Amino acid sequence: MELGASLRQKVLNDILPLVEKPGRYIGGEHNSVSKPWDSVSTRFLFAFPDVYDVGMSYLGLRVLYHLINQREDALCERAFAPWPDMEALMRSNGIPLYSLESFTPARRFDIIGFTLQYELNYTNVLNMLDLSNIPVRSSDRDESHPLIIAGGPVVYNPEPMADFIDAFVIGDGEEVINEILDMMASNDRSRDRLGLLKELAQIEGVYVPRFYDIRYSGLSVSSFSADAGVPDRIVPRRVRDLESVPFPDEVIVPLVDTVHDRAMVELFRGCTRGCRFCQAGIIYRPVRERRPETVRKHVLSQLDSTGYNEVSLMSLSSADYSSIEALIGSLAGDCDSRKVTVSLPSLRVDSFSIGLANRLQGLRKSSITFAPEAGTQRMRDVINKNVTEDDLMEAARAAFAHGWTTIKLYFMIGLPFETDEDVLGIAELAHKVIDQGRQVIRDAGGNPGRAKVHVSVASFVPKPHTPFQWVRQDSREEFERKIGLLRRSIRSRAIKLSWNDPDISLLEAALSRGDRRVGNVIEKAWSMGCRFDGWDELFEPEKWWDAFRSCEIDPEYIGTTDRDVSSTLPWDHISTGVSKSFLLAELRRAERGETTPDCRSDRCTGCGVCPSLEVSTVLSTGGTADA
């Protein structure tokens, strides 16, 4: 019997009757692609280091899966992290990690590509390699093993995972994945793994960590040397014009419920609002919009080929899409007659956005979310979140007037240069929103008691490549004190306060700003049983702190120490296209409470991305900001 077939039978008959949510592990979805194994020369396994329900909601998987399967010489299948109950049964029954399309063991693929969306997925990467019977360390692998590559936003600081991944792919994936597959097709990879990696390192945007010798002193790099023939600095890939790369319509339709179970069309990539805490706002620059007629075409054909009744128009800030009104107008008729709802994620805080949301959601109004991020104007200026209290009050008024009764507000605490007054400002703002809501509902003749505000507070994590990359994170005690302060200052029962576990943010900071030495900690934590660290119910901070201790690394030192702005940071050899001097200037402006405008509607801010990556802002209305 074919290997895949016997594995499949064993999983279906003996394993799945015993697991929770077995539908995660069966494959067989509409639009999944099963090509004959021997019909292609390169088999790529797209590995998502979280459960199926999360991974299938990720747009990048849809894009790359489609792109690779369009090639005649390659196939792409999928694997996700098994939940611990499934993992235990797989291990006790000798079932390796397998692909959902053909139930082929992961180890038989030529390339396994992980997407790293979140630092707290790192242990799952190691676990998936181990479940595939592949050594977790790159240096322990040979020609008989698949090539292990990784992309995604967090690989802009690849060092913590550098010991485990053969090659990182930095930046937009659409073009570089084809270059990698072309190279694989022409390379006799069975003979010389080092040669293959050398060749891979020639592709722009590819970083092969084993060719770099990096030494550290404290938190900074003391010496850095690249082997002959590999670049000193990795230039990220950026697709110049999204119209030039394929976008999938025949997307896989999951059989079981997933987090975002709907059609998705990307409006644009990049955001130049310039929030100083936001890494996405740096690494996807500049703004590149698709044309509204292209978006419309993809919406309709994706709905046709999936049968979905909801479509999400994706981007970092969808109300900013320059043709948004025209697009919504042109979709309204089609979507109404098909009983399809359109949603816009990440709404801006203003009444324009509320107007849009109102048009789209019709009668279905549960709650609406705004992210003012900080409680006082001074603090919002520090982080360059260009939202005023008036904007928020106006947006809240519009939302209550249109019939929403619950408003969710997202904030951060522990931001740089924060004072207690800024923390208390969060509570004040929430009270003002409640008062506003009661007033509006009362004026409309309704019951003012229906107005509700949910305040959600996250602990700030300074991220690499942002203006706050040098800044210390608050200590656990500081976070806890500030949460306490906030809890005591909320007087209204109509306001619900929730906050995240500071331990998660502390670990996130240590992993996201860590260097190559942190790899030992990740391996240790994994070997101690850490999995799915981003899931509250499975997160075991004590194991992590033990792992840090046994590797003689102090996570608080990585997180809660200010860094010297003149030092070389552990991620400085990975470029985002944005200059370090711009980030530093932004940090200085933050300190002075000065804001920086958005370059798509104002003058160039000199971040450096356009000249260094030879790209420019692409607006669907035809303009380019720097033209």
Partner 1 sequence: MPRVRIRMHKLGRYAYLSHLDMVRVLERAIRRAGLRLAYSQGFNPHPKISFGAPLAVGVTSTCEVADVEFDGSVSPDEIINKLNEQLPEGMKVDKAVLIDRRAKSLMSEIAAARYIIRMTLAGPELGQLEDSIKQLLDRDQLLLEKTRDGDVKVVDVRPYILDMKAMAGETLQIEACLRTGSKGNLRPDDLVTVMRQYGVLPPETIGVRIHRIELLVERDGRLVSAI
Scanning residues 305 to 324, which ones bind partner 1 (CB under 8 A)? Answer: 305-309
- Of residues 30 and 487, the one with the C-beta less far from partner 1: 30
Count Cβ atoms within 10 A of the Cβ of residue 355 and give its class: 0-12 exposed, 13-18 middle, 19 or more buried: middle
- Other Cβ atoms within 10 Å of 223 Cβ, number: 10
Rounded to the nearest 10 degrees, what angle do helices 351-361 and 324-337 cross at? 20
- Of residues 239 and 253, the one with the C-beta less far from partner 1: 253
Element holding 54 (H helix, E strand): helix 52-55
Q: Sheet harboring 367-373: ordered strands across?
A: 367-373, 406-413, 452-459, 495-499
- Of residues 271 and 303, the one with the C-beta less far from partner 1: 303
Scanning residues 99 to 128, which ones bind partner 1 (CB under 8 A)? Answer: none
CB of 365 to partner 1, least distance (A): 9
Question: Does 424 help bind partner 1 (rule: CB under 8 A)?
Answer: no
Scanning residues 42 to 81, which ones bind partner 1 (CB under 8 A)? Answer: none
- Of residues 23 and 84, the one with the C-beta less far from partner 1: 23
- Of residues 11 and 457, the one with the C-beta less far from partner 1: 11
- Of residues 26 and 33, the one with the C-beta less far from partner 1: 26
CB of 337 to partner 1, least distance (A): 10
The per-residue DSSP string of 388-435 comes to: -HHHHHHHHHHHHHTT--EEEEEEEES-TT--HHHHHHHHHHHHHHHH
Residue 562 DSSP one-character state: P
The residues near 366 (Cβ < 8 Å, ≥ 6 apart) are 404, 406
CB of 273 to partner 1, least distance (A): 34
Count Cβ atoms within 10 A of the Cβ of residue 537 and give its class: 0-12 exposed, 13-18 middle, 19 or more buried: exposed
- Of residues 48 and 308, the one with the C-beta less far from partner 1: 308
Scanning residues 565 to 624, which ones bind partner 1 (CB under 8 A)? Answer: none
Question: Does 185 help bind partner 1 (rule: CB under 8 A)?
Answer: no
CA separation for the pair 23, 16 (Å, rounded): 9
CB of 357 to partner 1, least distance (A): 16
CA-based Rg of the chain, rounded to a whole angstrom? 24
Scanning residues 335 to 364, which ones bind partner 1 (CB under 8 A)? Answer: 338-339, 363-364
CB of 361 to partner 1, least distance (A): 11
Scanning residues 2 to 31, which ones bind partner 1 (CB under 8 A)? Answer: 12, 16-17, 22-23, 26-28, 30
How many helices (H) and strands (E) in the chain? 21, 17
Where does this chain touch partner 1 (CB under 8 A) — which range of 240-248, 298-306, 468-476, 553-561?
298-306
- Of residues 36 and 144, the one with the C-beta less far from partner 1: 36
Rounded to the nearest 10 degrees, what angle do helices 518-527 and 541-550 cross at? 130
Where does this chain touch partner 1 (CB under 8 A) — which range of 91-99, 241-249, 301-309, 325-333?
301-309
Phi, psi of 141 (to 5 degrees): -100, 155
Size of the site for partner 1 (CB under 8 A): 24
- Of residues 17 and 333, the one with the C-beta less far from partner 1: 17
CA separation for the pair 580, 609 (Å, rounded): 11
CB of 493 to partner 1, least distance (A): 27
CB of 259 to partner 1, least distance (A): 15
Closest CA to 130 of 544, 507, 512, 530: 530
| Binding flags for partner 1, 248-267, as an x/- string (CB under 8 A) | -----x-xxx----------
CB of 301 to partner 1, least distance (A): 12
Residue selected from 85, 304, 614, 626 as contacting partner 1 according to rule CB under 8 A = 304
Cα dist from 579 to 204, 230, 575, whole Å: 19, 22, 8
Phi, psi of 347 (to 5 degrees): -75, 145
CB of 26 to partner 1, least distance (A): 4
Answer for the pair 615, 291: CB distance below 8 angstroms, yes or no.
no
The amino acid occupying position 434 is I
- Of residues 307 and 542, the one with the C-beta less far from partner 1: 307
- Of residues 30 and 549, the one with the C-beta less far from partner 1: 30
3-state class of 526 per DSSP? Answer: helix
Q: Encoding tokens for residue 77?
A: 């299948």
Give the binding site for partner 1 (CB under 8 A).
12, 16-17, 22-23, 26-28, 30, 253, 255-257, 303-309, 338-339, 363-364
